[in-house]
């Protein structure tokens, strides 16, 4: 894409109204626009990153048998009354937040979805009746709306955000546990592919409303709202809320061997038991002709939070540093004065072979400003074509993560990125 046609512009200064590093950088670089606290529009560059994150999660969910669907934002209160999760004004949901509600013209109240357990369980009453229909795994990428009191962590804690939520439906506890472990492994693959592998831990946590324990995936970062304790050599992590003598003794580990870290919860998986299947009547007939409630589990990853976490974890003082798996483009091709003609040719050749290139073809911008923009945008490789490099029939390549400049011949450049 030609940068001269990209409709967003970068900014030199941090927006005064943003506290979080992720939102400051993403706004300066033109990836997002803040509509209000906790509500962000994805601009073209931001949407490219967002969709790449979705693509990685989708691949891993499909690989463990997930079937993608798309539920709705508008919710019928009757469904939520069955599980006692419809609460009146001033009261809170089990997730600790009040509902966003709205009304039909006839005055009937509707909910604005903060999660989808009830909805999916109800849908499956139409499609599941026998042990032969289980197990099944359904997921979606859909907006969640949470009426946060304060929203000051940028895109990491939003009032409106896209979540990948997968739900598992199993016959037996054993069948459920088998998938639960499969999904935990898939989550580690996701965070690995997102460039967060070396700092993300499967973390022992409390089970909340549903069971005694659950698992969180926590990425070490000073911007995190959580505190975890890690034991690196055993690859073990425990959330502060369950870092108790009892748990430590169960695990046969010593408190003093752990390090304390701030961290960001980038994913969680937890057992739901039969809470929703019983409340909504999702039963299956066993091989023996008995009717039993389906055993459920829930598996979430916030897409915006993952994106914000990548920015928090990998940025430097000059700007964002995208891992190549989610970068909006693979190459930032920068034409300086005298290099325009060769840059133009190179742009075409790179595009022809399918390399994703942002081409800085702007004519009235000084080299220093172009370099600053390039660092801010965080594209993995910068390729500069100038009078000087053209004289040697070369271009200058620099990785975003390195200070080393490398000369590569114009002729070989496409091969370099293939």
Interface residues with a copy of itself (CB under 8 A) are: 5-9, 30, 33, 35-36, 39-44, 46-47, 50, 65, 67-76, 98, 100-105, 110, 112, 119, 123-124, 126-128, 133, 136, 138, 143, 145, 147-149, 159-160
The least CB distance from residue 298 to a copy of itself, in Å, is 16
The least CB distance from residue 4 to a copy of itself, in Å, is 8
Burial status of residue 17 (CB atoms within 10 A of its CB: 0-12, 13-18, 19 or more): exposed
Which two structure tokens, joined as six digits, stand for 372? 């600053």
The least CB distance from residue 41 to a copy of itself, in Å, is 5
For residues 98 and 224, which CB has a smaller minimum distance to a copy of itself in the complex? Answer: 98
Closest CA to 32 of 161, 131, 219, 143: 161
Please name every residue paired with 273 in a beta bridge, in sequence order, or none if there are none: 296
For residues 15 and 244, which CB has a smaller minimum distance to a copy of itself in the complex? Answer: 15
The least CB distance from residue 82 to a copy of itself, in Å, is 14
For residues 319 and 328, which CB has a smaller minimum distance to a copy of itself in the complex? Answer: 328
The least CB distance from residue 106 to a copy of itself, in Å, is 8
For residues 31 and 187, which CB has a smaller minimum distance to a copy of itself in the complex? Answer: 31
Where are the extended beta strands (E) located within 180-258?
A: 200-206, 213-220, 226-231, 236-239
Instruction: Look at residue 115 and give its three-state secondary structure.
Output: coil
Question: What is the layout of strands, in order, in the sheet containing 109-112?
Answer: 74-75, 109-112, 100-103
Rounded to a whole number of angstroms, the CA Rg of the chain reads 25
For residues 42 and 331, which CB has a smaller minimum distance to a copy of itself in the complex? Answer: 42
Closest CA to 312 of 93, 22, 108, 5: 22
Q: How far apart are CA 292 and CA 106, in angstroms?
A: 39
Which two structure tokens, joined as six digits, stand for 133? 């229909």
Instruction: Look at residue 153 and give its three-state secondary structure.
Output: coil
The least CB distance from residue 256 to a copy of itself, in Å, is 42
Q: How far apart are CA 329 and CA 327, in angstroms?
A: 5
**Cα dist. 197→161, 258, 383, 387, 397 in Å?**
23, 20, 28, 41, 27
The least CB distance from residue 165 to a copy of itself, in Å, is 13
For residues 42 and 313, which CB has a smaller minimum distance to a copy of itself in the complex? Answer: 42
For residues 126 and 235, which CB has a smaller minimum distance to a copy of itself in the complex? Answer: 126
């Amino acid at each position: 894409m030609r940068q001269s046609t990209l409709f967003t512009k970068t900014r030199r200064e941090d927006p005064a109204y943003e506290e979080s590093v992720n939102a400051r950088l993403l706004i300066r670089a033109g990836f997002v626009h803040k509509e209000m606290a906790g509500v962000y529009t994805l601009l073209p560059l931001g949407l490219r990153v967002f969709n790449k994150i979705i693509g990685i999660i989708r691949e891993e969910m499909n690989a463990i048998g997930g079937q993608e669907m798309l539920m709705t934002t508008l919710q019928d209160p009757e469904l939520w009354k069955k599980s006692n999760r419809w609460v009146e004004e001033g009261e809170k949901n089990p997730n600790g937040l009040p509902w966003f509600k709205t009304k039909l013209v006839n005055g009937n109240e509707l909910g604005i979805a903060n999660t989808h357990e009830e909805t999916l369980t109800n849908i499956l009453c139409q499609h599941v009746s026998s042990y032969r229909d289980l197990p099944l795994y359904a997921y979606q990428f859909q907006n969640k709306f949470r009426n946060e009191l304060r929203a000051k962590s940028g895109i990491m804690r939003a009032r409106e955000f896209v979540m990948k939520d997968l739900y598992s439906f199993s016959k037996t506890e054993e069948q459920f546990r088998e998938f639960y472990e499969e999904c935990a492994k898939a989550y580690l693959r996701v965070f690995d592919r997102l460039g967060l592998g070396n700092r993300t831990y499967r973390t022992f946590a409390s089970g909340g409303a549903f069971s005694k324990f659950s698992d969180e995936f926590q990425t070490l970062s000073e911007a995190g709202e959580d505190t975890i304790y890690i034991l690196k050599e055993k690859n073990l992590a425990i959330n502060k809320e369950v870092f108790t003598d009892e748990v430590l003794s169960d695990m046969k580990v010593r408190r003093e061997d752990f390090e304390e870290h701030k961290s960001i919860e980038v994913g969680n998986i937890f057992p739901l038991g039969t809470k929703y299947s019983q409340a909504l009547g999702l039963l299956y007939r066993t091989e023996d002709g008995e009717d039993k409630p389906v055993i459920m589990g829930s598996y979430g990853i916030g897409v915006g939070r993952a994106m914000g976490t990548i920015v928090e974890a990998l940025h430097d003082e000059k700007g964002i540093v995208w891992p190549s798996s989610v970068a909006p483009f693979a190459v930032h091709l920068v034409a300086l004065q005298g290099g325009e003609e060769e840059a133009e040719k190179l742009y075409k050749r790179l595009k022809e072979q399918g390399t994703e290139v942002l081409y800085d073809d702007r004519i009235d911008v000084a080299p220093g400003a172009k370099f600053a923009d390039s660092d801010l945008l965080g594209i993995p490789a910068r390729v500069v074509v100038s009078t000087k490099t053209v004289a040697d029939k070369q271009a200058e390549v620099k990785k975003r993560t390195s200070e080393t400049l490398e000369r590569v011949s114009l002729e070989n450049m496409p091969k370099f990125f293939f």
